[in-house]
Amino acid sequence: MRLARAAEQALAPEDRARIIAGADEEILLRLTVSSKSELLRQLAQGDGREFVATMVKAIDCHYPLVATLDEIFNTVKPSKGKPIGGK
């Protein structure tokens, strides 16, 4: 739930509106592009700059969650007892 709480606090309202939360603490942050066909059109058109810009925008809006993800990955321990982050 840490990631869901961080998303609620850190993301802009339009980005929060795209969150899909699962029952098992899993969240999905949907891209702003509505269809695969639109992404494929952007990729095929010209040199693909529109596709790259769309992907950068989609990733950039999630940047505020990086610190929370880093904290989660460095504190969650897999079955062998080592933190996922390798520390």
Confirm whether pTM is higher than 0.75. no
Q: What is the pLDDT of residues 41-67, one digit of tens each?
A: 998 998 989 988 888 888 887 788 888
Integer Cα distance of 57 and 3 in angstroms: 20
Q: What is the pLDDT of residues 24-47, one digit of tens each?
A: 666 676 766 668 898 899 989 989
Domain locations along the chain = 2-75
Going by C-alpha positions, the residue among 59, 63, 62, 40 that lies closest to residue 51 is 40
Give the model's pLDDT for residue 11: 81
